[in-house]
Amino acid sequence: MRLVAPGVVAGRFVGTVLMSYGDTLTLGSSNSAPIVLLRPRITSLELSRGKSHTDGAVRGAQWGTAVGLAFGAVTVGFVRDCYQCTADNPARSKGAWVGLNTLAGAGYGALIGAFIGRERWEQIDPSGHAAVGIHPGGASLALRHEF
């Protein structure tokens, strides 16, 4: 879960629900001590829905396109037209150089992004009630939007 609770946590807190009782949540994180907070203090609440490799590939392609375009634009000055072009040494244009680097960046970025993945977050109404259930398969968090 990822949340914003001004006056309780600095910035955005990412953690796990350890306990839920009434309007009180106890949250834990690998890099902080458990915190206890009242639900009304939460102004933004998101639940993790796991990693998506497709979303990672899309984000990687976006970054890779930008990096490849920048690299191509910066290095285009090193591209020289050939005067004796052959099948083994074809002519290269500066536009083709930038385009090739842009496409290569998009491809490499998509591959890296797909491998790493991207976390998916679902926005939840913080005024809803949360219930934590423990069962043989592990713990779960259910949200009820009723009062």
Cα–Cα distance between 23 and 9 in angstroms, integer?
A: 17
Q: How many helices (H) and strands (E) does the chain have?
A: 2, 9
Beta-bridge partner residues of 119: 51
Residues of the chain with pLDDT > 90, as a percent, come to: 31
Q: What does pTM read for this prediction?
A: 0.61
Beta-bridge partner residues of 52: 118
Domain boundaries, the chain: 2-43+126-144, 52-116
- Each residue's pLDDT tens digit, 8-52: 888 888 888 888 888 888 888 888 788 888 888 888 888 888 899
- Residue 146: pLDDT over 50: no
In the structure, what pLDDT confidence band is assigned to residue 147 with cuts at 50, 70 and 90? very low
In the structure, what pLDDT confidence band is assigned to residue 95 with cuts at 50, 70 and 90? confident
What's residue 15's pLDDT?
A: 84
